[in-house]
Amino acid sequence: MATISDVARLSGLSRSTVSRVLNNYPYVSEEKKRLVNEAMEQLNYFPNASAQKLRNQKTETIAVLIPMLTNPFFAYLLQGIDTIATENGFQLLVCQTRYDKEKELNFLNLLKSKQVDGIILTSIENSWDQLEPFLKYGPIVMCNEYEKTAKNVPSVRLDQVYGGYIATRHLIEKGHSTIAYCRGAFRSGIASDREIGYRLALEEFNLPYREELMFRAAADSRDGEEVFKKLMTLKERPTGIFTGSDQVAAGIIKQAKLNGIEVPKELAVVGFDDQPIAEIVVPEITTVKQPIHEIGEKAMGLMLNLLLPNESDSIEEVELQLQLIERAST
């Protein structure tokens, strides 16, 4: 590949001038500009990105840490992030942690090696103390998952306590008094918050909290199927269940159908997220809608704010709303 020197040589000008044309500097005569452009054309010149990054000390690249690409929730989140990133000329380095603490920690080094200008966290595997020190090396933005103790990190928040509350209350209002809660298997402030909301609703309606109605599954439909089976073994079977994702809800509904349990008559199911699958399954799934794409957009927006401090007011926090969508599964 040709370098800037080749272009300079061919056009009979200096490297500086070529660079100026390249970067649209104001004071270059049309004449030389033409010359340079011709030379670039002829040599099929393209600037070397590593050289630019080294020189400019920035990369226009953001690392996005994601547990699992195949979890549709994260795919949508990523797409939201990508939308805003692309609009602003940023690239995304996608980093799958696979729910692994060590991997997560390694990826944070991307900041130290200046391979990326910032990092967006969509989950947290380590405790915040572990991650905090990396703030020294560049901006970190959190979305989806969050840490209450982390005061100084810009983040996109949703009131997950409220989410758990409205889901549970909805079931209660539908006449259910024995309601299970099925959360993810991993360490998660989100899941815990929703559980708080779940309990809040129970309390409000004077319903007892019962340990045997709590399930910890991972996040997919197969886990949902397992949960259903366990449900069937309980002495006192719940008539309603609130789950951490639509995938899990779908798995439960599937097994219910296969076992002749009618949804929602015999078992009412509430999902979470409002992913496409919520509307594919029959009956469609009542769910707590998260504006997933928007969460991603806002997160990347926060990142840009930190990176380009020209936009006067640097918003450091965004709050988005959860919303119950009632469908046929309750």
Partner DNA sequence: TTGTAGGCGTTATCAG
Partner DNA sequence: CTGATAACGCCTACAA
Say whether residue 70 binds a second copy (CB under 8 A). yes
Residue 76 binds a second copy, judged by CB under 8 A: yes
Minimum CB–partner distance for residue 94 and a second copy (Å): 4
Separation CA 182–CA 167 (nearest Å): 12
| CA distance to 69, 141, 222, 249, 297, per residue, from 95 (Å) | 9, 15, 25, 28, 18
Distance of CA 324 to the CA centre of its chain: 20
Told to check if 99 binds a second copy by CB under 8 A, we report no
Q: Which is nearer to DNA, 112 or 229 (CB)?
A: 112
**CA–CA separation, 299 and 144 (whole Å):** 9
Look at residue 27 and give the partner it binds from a second copy, DNA, none, a contact being a CB closer than 5 to 8 Å depending on partner kind. DNA
The conformation of residue 240, written as its DSSP 8-state character, comes to E
- Determine the Cα–Cα distance for residues 157 and 189; give it in Å rounded to an integer: 12
Task: Give the interface segment with a second copy, choosing from 6-14, 19-27, 75-83, 140-148 (CB under 8 A).
Answer: 75-83
Q: Tokens 């649209």: give the residue.
A: 24
To the nearest whole angstrom, how small is the minimum distance from the Cβ of residue 221 to a second copy? Answer: 5
Interface positions with DNA (CB under 7 A):
1, 3-5, 12-20, 22-23, 26-29, 31-32, 45-48, 51-52, 54-57
| Between 13 and 267, CB nearer to DNA | 13
Q: State CA 44 to chain mean position distance.
A: 39
Cβ closer to DNA: 5 or 259? 5
- Single out the residue of 12, 39, 36 nearest to residue 25, CA to CA: 36
Name the amino acid, one letter, at 212.
E
Residues of this chain that interact with a second copy (CB under 8 A) are 1, 44, 46-51, 53-54, 59, 68-70, 72, 75-76, 78-79, 82, 86, 91-96, 109-110, 112-115, 137, 220-222, 250-251, 254, 257-258, 276-277, 279-282
